[in-house]
Amino acid sequence: MTINFAAYHNKQITLSEMSAGLGIADLHRLLDEQYDYIEAQLEGLNDAEVTYIPLDPEAYDPYAADEAEIKLAWTLGHVIVHLSASAEEATAQATNLARGVKVRGRSRYETPWQSVKSASQVLKRLAESRRMQHALLEAWPTEPDLELTYTPAYPGAQPRNAIGYFISGLAHSDSHLKQIENILTQARTSP
């Protein structure tokens, strides 16, 4: 990726600093770079790898819909539906901001992870997500509103404009890339 998300995750750079100077063509390119990278990681993916339950002693999801899933290790299918839903939400909200529409909360749908059991489903979900995000970016006005901002409701969140909101979706997906790699490594080396 041409953006150093590690610096963002380590709090060495802000979303505003990362997104400075970026335009709509850059956003399309960055989206493709990230999805190309994910799809390359999944080369040769099989159905067993999609549902493989990895060892993950650090598994913790305080937002899990079911209390029994808070410390559940995520399957690859779970990671893919989560990161794609988060990226789509960020892109949709970025599009609203670009159009001068205030963001008033979450705008999210996540495919139930339990329903994703095949390599074909994972690859179709990624292709659909990429297509949807490109379409949302195409809905931006020629001169997007980059003054309007939104501050997410979590501690330490900073205001973000349309470009920053889009980049936040890429940053979130980036935070799951190592998890994808770990799941695949375990699945492909387990007896």
Beta-bridge mates of residue 150: 160
Q: Give me the amino acid identity at 73.
A: A
Q: Give me the amino acid identity at 71.
A: K
* pLDDT averaged over 10-residue windows placed end to end, the chain, 191 residues: 84 90 96 97 98 93 85 96 97 98 91 96 98 98 97 88 97 96 96 76
Q: What is the reported pLDDT for 68?
A: 86
Q: What is the reported pLDDT for 191?
A: 76
DSSP structural state of residue 144: -
User: Per residue in 9-34, pLDDT tens?
Assistant: 998 998 889 999 999 999 999 999 99
> What does pTM read for this prediction?
0.94
Report all structural domains of the chain as residue ranges with CATH numbers, in order of start. 5-189 (1.20.120.450)
Q: Tokens 């330490």 label which residue?
A: 156
Q: What is the reported pLDDT for 1?
A: 55
Q: Is the Cα torsion angle 36, 16, 155, 99 positive or negative in sign?
A: negative
Cβ(2)–Cβ(27) under 8 Å? no
Cβ(184)–Cβ(41) under 8 Å? yes
